[in-house]
Structure 1
Amino acid sequence: MDLTVVHGDITEQVVDAVVNAANRAMRGGGGVDGAIHAAGGPAVLEDCVRRFPDGLATGEAGWTTAGAMAARWVIHVVGPNFRAGETDRGLLTSCYRRALEVADELGARTVAFPLVSAGIYGWPKDDAVAAAVETLRTTPTEVSEARLVAYDRATHDVIAAALGG
């Protein structure tokens, strides 16, 4: 699998699936979650309500339509909230592993990922990057391209360094 980093807006990525850093309720929120719901339009929320009436557990993944975005699907993952005491790294790595499993089930070959839990949930950025890169590099998958999308230049540079470039 080709693992790359791009500086940009995840909602504008032309890929089969974009990964959303969602909350357990699966009803939209701030950050990446809010941006994906805004860009995808009401179809994303409608599909979340229908497919996840009771939300989604931390570390898990599920999919919906991508609505108005270029992608076909949104793969929603619920990352651990470090600030709220959810510090089990296994929950964080599970988000990436489960997202790849869902991508494989859907037949998605190109997937754009945010840096899960590193925003408002407060996971230390260096470890969030390491968890993403390690898990994406070692998880068996049919995905041919995984793209880590960094909204800001500083995060892009940290990811690029972790990728060896």
Structure 2
Amino acid sequence: MEFVVGGVVVRLLQGDITEVEAGAIVNAANSYLEHGGGVAGAIVRKGGWVIQEESREWVRRHGPVPVGGVAVTSAGRLRAKYVIHAVGPRCGVEPIEKLGEAVKNALLKADELGVESVALPAISTGIFGCPYRDAALQTAAAIRETAPKLKSVKLIMVVLYGEEAYRAFADVFKKVLAG
């Protein structure tokens, strides 16, 4: 499924984000950039331990990444140049709007890095417990707001693991981005 927002192609895909070829892959991270499970664990398993090492070094230098914030490391063996670690909210603990902030900051960071394509997962829907529909609304709104401001990014891929996530995001994206 594909949309065009502010001249940027937004493509919704079902699959494994670690298999996607993109200038940058966004990781659904925690503030300490410890990548044990979910998307983060898969990115380190596939991309290599160097991603975890660089993440720890980033935290040593800058401190924990705030909710809604981002950090950047190399992508190791992934088919990308960078991993942008975006910290989404823990649903029920931090405001859901921080998810939109994380998406916006990840897209702006990808643009700053000069990449033409970026792949996003369903941030905060795993262990952080946000419902797919709520995450999709925040993600779509952030894309709608940020895409027209991007200069180098021409393709945003939202890569969803599983049919349930894909259906929820597709339903929301049709309403928010197709208009």
- With normalisation by structure 1, the TM-score equals 0.93
**Cα distance in 2, alignment partners of residues 115 and 97 from structure 1:** 13
- Hey, what does 1:147 align to over in structure 2? 157
**Cα distance in 1, alignment partners of residues 89 and 100 from structure 2:** 10
- Asked if the contact 1:19/1:77 (under 8 Å) is kept, the reply is yes
Counterpart check, 1:59 vs 2:68: yes
Report Cα offsets for 1:26-65 as digits up to 9, x if no partner: 1212101111111110110121122221231111011100
> What is the aligned residue count?
163
Percent identity, please.
Answer: 35
- Hey, what does 1:74 align to over in structure 2? 83
Gaps of 5+ in 2: 1-7
**Cα distance in 1, alignment partners of residues 136 and 173 from structure 2:** 9
- Hey, what does 2:5 align to over in structure 1? none
- Asked if the contact 2:86/2:102 (under 8 Å) is kept, the reply is yes
- With normalisation by structure 2, the TM-score equals 0.86
- Hey, what does 1:5 align to over in structure 2? 12
- Hey, what does 1:137 align to over in structure 2? 144
**Cα distance in 1, alignment partners of residues 66 and 173 from structure 2:** 29
Equivalent residue letter for 2:70: A
**Cα distance in 2, alignment partners of residues 160 and 23 from structure 1:** 26
Equivalent residue letter for 2:109: V
**Cα distance in 1, alignment partners of residues 117 and 104 from structure 2:** 15
* SS of match in other structure, 1:52: helix
* SS of match in other structure, 2:35: coil
Pairwise mapping of residues 117-136 of structure 1 onto structure 2 (< 5 A)? Answer: 117-136=124-143
- Asked if the contact 2:97/2:138 (under 8 Å) is kept, the reply is no
Gaps of 5+ in 1: none
**Cα distance in 2, alignment partners of residues 92 and 154 from structure 1:** 19
**Cα distance in 1, alignment partners of residues 169 and 97 from structure 2:** 20
Pairwise mapping of residues 83-162 of structure 1 onto structure 2 (< 5 A)? Answer: 83=92, 85-86=93-94, 88-139=95-146, 140-142=149-151, 143-162=153-172
Counterpart check, 1:31 vs 2:38: yes
